[in-house]
Structure 1
Amino acid sequence: MQSENPFVADFVKMMNSAAGTLAGMGREARENAREKFKEFMGDMDYVTREEFDAVKQLAATAREEAEALKARVAALEARNG
C-alpha cells in the first residue's frame, strides 16, 4: 500500500488547478484577440474582387484612349507644324 503525503497531494491539486486556469486564460485571450482582429478588419474599407476588376478595366480603357489621343495630337501637330 502506498502512503500519500497530504502536502504533496495538495500541491499536485493546486498545480492541476493552476494548469487548468492558465489553459482557460490562454483560450480566453486567443478568442479575445480573434474578436478584436475581426472588429479591426471589419472597420476597414475593402473592395470586392469584382469592384477591383471593374476599376482595373476602366483604367486600362482610359490608358488606351489616352494613347490614341496622344497619337492623334502628334499626327495633327505633324500635319500643321
Structure 2
Amino acid sequence: MNAEFDIAETLDVKGASCPMPVVKTKSATDDLAEGDVLEVLATDPGSMSDIDGWAAGTEGVELVDQEEGDDVYKHYVRKTE
C-alpha cells in the first residue's frame, strides 16, 4: 500500500473492458466520503489512459496514483468534494 494515502475501498474490475472500468469507478466514487481513496484493480491496459482522462475531466475527484503491474493495473482515485 502506498504510504501517502489510506485506501477506503477496493474496486475489482479485472476482466472488464472499456468503458466499464470508468463507469464502475465513477459509480464507486459517488459512494465515497470526501477525502476517501478508491483503489481500482483492472486488467484492461486502456484503463491507464481512460481513468486518467476521466479523473482529469471530472470535478470532485483526483487521480492520486497509478501503478502498472504484470497483469493488473492499479488506480487510486480520491474524492475531493
For the criterion TM > 0.5, the same-fold answer is no
The two structures have a TM-score, normalised by structure 1, of 0.22
* Higher RCO, 1 vs 2 (CA within 8 Å, ≥6 residues apart): 2
Larger radius of gyration: 1
The two structures have a TM-score, normalised by structure 2, of 0.22
